[in-house]
Amino acid sequence: MRWTLKPKPNIKTVNHLKEVLTIEATIASLLAQRGIETFEAAKDFFRPSLTHLHDPFLMKDMDKAVQRIEKALVHNENILVYGDYDVDGTTSVALMSSYLKTRSHHIATYIPDRYEEGYGVSYKGIDFAKDNEFSLIIALDCGIKAIDKVAYAQDKDIDFIICDHHRPADTIPKAVAVLDPKRSDCDYPYKELCGCGVGFKLIQALSEREGKGVIELTKYLDLVATAIAADIVPITGENRVLAYFGLQVINKTPRVGIQTMLQQLKKDSLTITDVVFTIAPRINAAGRMKHGNHAVTLLTETDFDLAASYASEIEVFNLERRETDTRITIEALQQILDHKEQERYTTVVYDASWHKGVIGIVASRLIETYYRPTLVFTRSGDKLAASARSVSGFDVYNALEACSEHIEQFGGHKYAAGLTLKEENYDAFKRAFESVVKATIDKHLLTPEVKIDAQINLEDIDQRLWRIMRQFAPFGPGNMTPVFMSKGLVDSGYGKCVGEADKHLKLTVCQQGSASFSGIGFGLGSKVQLIKHKQRFDAVYSIDENHWNGQVNLQLKLKDIR
């Protein structure tokens, strides 16, 4: 791993924060690194409030969207809430349909089939709307590139409202309203909302027009927080406020569907990380292994017993998903070895039999072994479909754009994207993608990086530091868990490998006579020789709580040692 110590923030800012907040230099420095430089900014950071949310009508086309929906509600039009089959899409559909059903009985939902229809708005979905007399489709977490589909719907007298957060192309669909803060002509102050976040802004606007406040929409924030966590958007600004209150709902008064999933998990209090690794995969498993409708049904159900049976069903899908992605990852790694492709700048693998629902997970797993931009292809109808994942600092969306002559369609973000192409173009695309990445990537980005907030001594770690640091949560991109480096550490002599195949490292460390701390290094078992015989070593770690035998102690969660 590359150890990168973040630049020290301005000393005047740090001293100012120390003084006005009466905090230690370490905390003041962490705040300054996050762009928090004044007492007021710190107050907003430590005490998030729903009043910090922006006016939804600042978003381009919001007034048009609200007018069209209000017209549909007044005239009892049939409204179809349409969303993608992943977590962001299904939570968006659950959110919008749940809200609209409080105002109309003419609301239905539609999730495209991952295998028959693929990603985003589909002709089949529009035909369904026409056949069932829907005159308005609200598309969530998709639609920003659906120019032909929106025109097709217009010909059938169906209006579209698009709520998306993906990057637009040069041309915007001719929908009634296109809500996307990433539009170049949109002045909305916060650009990093997820699809469900854009959907929430729309119901916030609708609610305001009714003369109601955002407080009355709090019950929907468990869905928004789940989408924020799963879509790995920055947890800064408005996202941080939404995630903060959404987690409170998840932990105190979750909707019945989430409650039944949490019962199976037997966890008292969830963090954003817990949501990423527990709730999100289960919701995703429905669309991956069966159909996204199962997730929407679970998330909108109000009867506990029914929800419990749906949650059990989804648990089965999730177990099947885990077995499938493990098997395909092994096959993909073998393919890389067989084709002697370890030295490439990219990883591009293909097998017609691989399950389309898990190729995104497999791409992420391959990056854990070969740290480079990765695409995993499978057959989808008469074309090949791929999920793309990238390494920190490299924009895979731009790389795909540079290869667009070989691609049928693509979309996504800087670090995750999807695409389809004709099978005869696969080899040419693979060569082009390798060539583009090789020419544009900074070579150091091919080594995993651990970013360090500050170098500290073990004596700086105490309960007060921990208590204040916990208030930095929720953590995520843009507001990561603080990472520290300490030098000249010594193990007690009882450090050892633990876990299956001695994969992990467990030790107790001190530094020049300081109090000792227990430490756990997941995946660091191979480095046990560095701590033997009282050798001094440096460590990068975050601080965590260890609960054991009724005792709660601070421990170091090691990321790397050297």
pLDDT in tens, 229-247: 998 899 999 999 999 999 9
| 301 part of a folded domain | yes
Distance in angstroms (rounded) separating the CA atoms of residues 410 and 145: 9
Nearest to 460 by CA among 47, 120, 11, 27: 27
Q: How many domains is the chain built from?
A: 3
Same domain, 548 and 495: yes
Could you tell me if 386 and 376 are in contact, meaning their C-beta atoms sit under 8 angstroms apart? Answer: yes
How many Å is the maximal CA-CA distance in the chain?
Answer: 79
- The CATH number covering residue 375 comes to 3.10.310.30
Lowest-pLDDT range, 110-124, 213-227, 300-314, 452-466? Answer: 110-124
| 325 part of a folded domain | no
Supply the DSSP string of 99-140, one letter for each residue: HHTTT-S-EEEE---TTTT-SS--HHHHHHHHHTT--EEEEE
Distance in angstroms (rounded) separating the CA atoms of residues 323 and 288: 13
Q: Which helix (H) or strand (E) holds 74?
A: helix 62-74
Domain range for residue 151? 56-313
Assess whether pLDDT exceeds 90 at residue 438. yes
Indicate the residue type of 81. Answer: V
Count of Cβ atoms closer than 10 Å to residue 40 Cβ = 10
At residue 376, φ and ψ (nearest 5 deg) are -120, 120
Assess whether pLDDT exceeds 70 at residue 264. no
Distance in angstroms (rounded) separating the CA atoms of residues 439 and 426: 20
| 376 part of a folded domain | yes
- The CATH number covering residue 484 comes to 2.40.50.460
| 431 part of a folded domain | yes
* pTM of full prediction above 0.95: no
Distance in angstroms (rounded) separating the CA atoms of residues 447 and 157: 53
Cα-trace Rg, the chain: 25
Nearest to 525 by CA among 492, 501, 555: 501
Helices (H), 441-532: 463-470
What SS3 class is residue 274? helix
| 456 part of a folded domain | yes
What SS3 class is residue 532? helix
Distance in angstroms (rounded) separating the CA atoms of residues 185 and 190: 13
pLDDT grade, residue 552 (50/70/90)?
confident
Same domain, 379 and 271: no
Same domain, 67 and 25: no
Nearest to 165 by CA among 148, 150, 178, 152: 178
Could you tell me if 248 and 212 are in contact, meaning their C-beta atoms sit under 8 angstroms apart? Answer: no
Q: Which helix (H) or strand (E) holds 451?
A: strand 449-452
pLDDT, tens only, 137-165: 999 999 999 999 999 999 999 999 999 99
| 333 part of a folded domain | no
Two tokens at 243?
Answer: 């995630």
Distance in angstroms (rounded) separating the CA atoms of residues 45 and 213: 22
- 382 by Cβ neighbours in 10 Å (0-12 / 13-18 / 19+) ranks as exposed
The confidence score (pLDDT) of residue 232 equals 85
Q: What is the mean pLDDT of residues 359-371?
A: 95
Q: Which residue has the higher pLDDT, 489 or 513?
A: 489
Same domain, 225 and 112: yes
Two tokens at 346?
Answer: 């990219």
Same domain, 199 and 296: yes
| Domain end position, chosen among 430, 446, 462 | 446
pLDDT, tens only, 125-135: 999 999 999 99
Assess whether pLDDT exceeds 90 at residue 514. no
The confidence score (pLDDT) of residue 513 equals 73
Same domain, 92 and 122: yes
Could you tell me if 347 and 366 are in contact, meaning their C-beta atoms sit under 8 angstroms apart? Answer: yes
Looking at residue 7, the DSSP 8-state letter turns out to be P
Same domain, 200 and 304: yes
| Domain end position, chosen among 395, 417, 446 | 446
Distance in angstroms (rounded) separating the CA atoms of residues 7 and 453: 8
Same domain, 242 and 106: yes
Same domain, 273 and 419: no
In what side-by-side order are the strands of the sheet with 136-140?
A: 107-110, 79-83, 136-140, 159-163, 177-179
With pLDDT > 90 as the criterion, what percentage of the chain qualifies? Answer: 88
Pairing of strands 2-5, 79-83: unpaired
Q: Which helix (H) or strand (E) holds 230?
A: helix 221-231
Question: Cα–Cα distances in Å, from 371 out to 306, 325, 344?
Answer: 43, 18, 11
Distance in angstroms (rounded) separating the CA atoms of residues 257 and 507: 40
Two tokens at 501?
Answer: 């195949």
Nearest to 146 by CA among 411, 489, 337: 411
Distance in angstroms (rounded) separating the CA atoms of residues 262 and 560: 32
Pairing of strands 2-5, 551-561: unpaired
pLDDT grade, residue 364 (50/70/90)?
very high
At residue 488, φ and ψ (nearest 5 deg) are 65, 40
| 211 part of a folded domain | yes
pLDDT grade, residue 99 (50/70/90)?
very high
Indicate the residue type of 334. Answer: Q
- The CATH number covering residue 71 comes to 3.90.1640.30
The confidence score (pLDDT) of residue 375 equals 97
Nearest to 366 by CA among 382, 354, 379, 349: 349
The confidence score (pLDDT) of residue 341 equals 81
Q: Which helix (H) or strand (E) holds 245?
A: helix 237-252
pLDDT grade, residue 49 (50/70/90)?
very high
Beta-bridge partner residues of 416: 389
| 322 part of a folded domain | no
Count of Cβ atoms closer than 10 Å to residue 336 Cβ = 17
Same domain, 250 and 169: yes
Could you tell me if 505 and 520 are in contact, meaning their C-beta atoms sit under 8 angstroms apart? Answer: yes
Nearest 10 degrees: Cα torsion 13, 18, 21, 27? 90
| Domain end position, chosen among 446, 465, 497 | 446
Same domain, 385 and 307: no
Nearest to 83 by CA among 296, 229, 298: 296
Q: Which helix (H) or strand (E) holds 200?
A: helix 195-209
Same domain, 424 and 456: no
Two tokens at 405?
Answer: 């002559």
What SS3 class is residue 318? helix
Question: Cα–Cα distances in Å, from 230 out to 91, 277, 280?
Answer: 10, 9, 6
